[in-house]
Chains A and B, each alone.
Chain A
Amino acid sequence: MSGPDAFRPALDGPAPGGLASDAAVVLRLEGIRKAFGKLEVLRGIDLVVRRHEVVCLIGASGSGKSTLLRCVNLIEPIDAGRVFIDDVEITAPNVNVDRVRRRIGIVYQAFNLFPHMSVLDNVALAPRKVLKVPRAKAEADALALLTRFGLEEKAAEYPDRLSGGQQQRVAIVRALAMEPDLLLLDEVTSALDPELVAEVLGVIRELARGGMTMVIATHEMGFARDSANRVCFLDEGRILEEGPPDRIFRHPTEERTRRFLQRVIEAGRLEVGAIE
């Protein structure tokens, strides 16, 4: 399956919200714990993500959303707990972490594009060096992916010539070029000017429609409400409440979730009257 077509067959896959609960489990987290010094950031996280599912992590800054994503692809070593990808434990001692990471894409808040490479090289680097795809094919695939996301004119540019929204779209394309089974998005719109947020969210919505399995840490409550299959509210390193977006946003059962959403509404990030 070549890069750009990788997501097409799933385009007519299950619509958000209508997921069969027997879909294969892509990601399973069991009791993830992580501390930075004395600061306990994750205090026992359990989470199951099934194929084609879009899971949004919401919660206040410092609640552990970003750290959780960085622990999933083992960029951040965990203190305790187990991570399974397709029912294989990747936290087992003799697992080749580099091989695991090929299958998990992650996009960071600050883009982290490689400034010394053109956009095309940014996208083609990992397929060439990790998957050993010949240069010509890797570049053709990269260009096709960039074209699909309206970035073909930027292929020869260097990242610092692009707007923040364009850079973040390139970062998403770079992750997609590895044809990951799971895509992690870490507050990908938080570093963007407000008018650039929509173009990036549009890309993520398209990926969701295409059936990409995603775990998304976000402050965009409107996006979480209309694009997620499931929303998890993180509070002090635990998943305090999770469920379909409709239930979490309209009928939160936990007092802390209610208070968090109230603050979000006051900040103008969610329509008034969303909570019943």
Chain B
Amino acid sequence: MTRDPAIELKGISKAFGPVHANKDISIRVMPGTIHGIIGENGAGKSTLMSILYGFYKADKGEIFLSGKKAHITDSQAAIAAGIGMVFQHFKLVENFTVLENVILGAEDGRLLKPSIAKARRSLLELAADYGLNVDPDALVQDIGVGMQQRVEILKALYRQADILILDEPTGVLTPAEADQLFRILNRLREEGKTIILITHKLREIMDITDTVSVMRQGEMTATVKTSETSPAELAELMVGRKVLLRVDKTPAKPGAVVLDITDLRVKDEKGVERLRGIDLQVRAGEILGIAGVAGNGQSELLEVLGGYANGTGTIAMNGEKIDLTGKSSNGQSRRARGIAHVPEDRQREGLIMDFHAWENVAFGYHNDPAYRSGVLMNNAAIREDTTDKMQRFDVRPPDPRLAAKNFSGGNQQKIVLAREIERNPDLLLIGQPTRGVDIGAIEFIHQQIVALRDKGKAVLLVSVELDEIMALSDRIAVMFDGQIMGERLPSETDEKELGLLMAGITDTYNEHSVDEVQDNLAHVHAPEKGA
């Protein structure tokens, strides 16, 4: 049987100035299948989907939908052609109800009432058809992230989308919610919808897709049947060389307690308690991983430890108490105490993007006598030190005079890591060490973290990637709503148990429904982080 593919892209090319984001890319996606697109950050996945969705116009190439040539000039045209997109960052109006969000931009007439009534009917139908249950009258700000994602999917389906593009859909979900999403996607596939799933997680590709395309540096390196490939092969196709997917490490030899936190509490500007009595210990020579859904207090924990948020309770470093509110509570005094900090958001906090690499290597350590000559800064010495550090951390290109923004995500992170780890700190705070970092660099960064541990240093690792927590940690603490839900050893737990803890459910031996998980998470209102 010869059916026309639901989507066919032929020879798509797109350049932004000298950068070729997409080079001669062709894909065929058959109807009723899930097609994965995998690739590192900057490989051109998002550009390609933006072309399909009408945000960008391709320099070259053609788009065919169900065999007919399509001219997608803007997102309106894409929607009319039956394409729906679920963005990584949801495009919802927080203080509108689910219904209002669904009809936004697709109202039938000047009066809202008939549209709302119609939408309510079709929402019920869609919910029944695909298992997409949401309360139509709930405000979006009151429902959890997983629910919000469902609203995005409903929005697309309400607009009669036959093709659904999902951009990194599981980034914000707990494992249970991700499973639920995949069940929905399966259901959609059974109903004949065509789905494109953009992700950088190999496991998701293997779990759910029928076919997968791998992108690297703007080119499509391969399109294969998922059943005929393996994670290792995909990783190799993504990076262009063999990569180690597991972290090689020996069992930890925990020593004395380095960091001792008791009853730590932090309030945000609105007076809402973000940390509600944290007790934690990190020992020398161990990596403590903090797991949790983003926005459950991990950022606040790092900020208060790093010296730029105030808190109450006690933090002792090597047995000595740290001042938590006074004038001397800042990043400088923390560094003097042997605490190094690789912040979660390297572009907003860890680096100054317009500064040269060497200026960034001095960042936070600019009072170091080695970087000084009299009242002036010894720029030559800093540059020399930077060249050195860049070499040891394999930063490419090794040019101290290049602005931070001109390095790739992985190399930016290596600059931050080099700056912090080379100080040989007693305690390393590290948040989202591999967010936006390519696979090749992930391997290196993980090795560096483990190496620091092996030198007998304490590491506090915060990550929303459960895989990363499982792979690196010697001990795992799970955070939910500003509290520690429990501690586990990686050898004695699994993703399912951690996932339940991440949703605040501590009796992990009993069965729990996904709805219960989502309900729990919905009560935690993540603080908005300005971009």
**Are A and B interaction partners?**
no
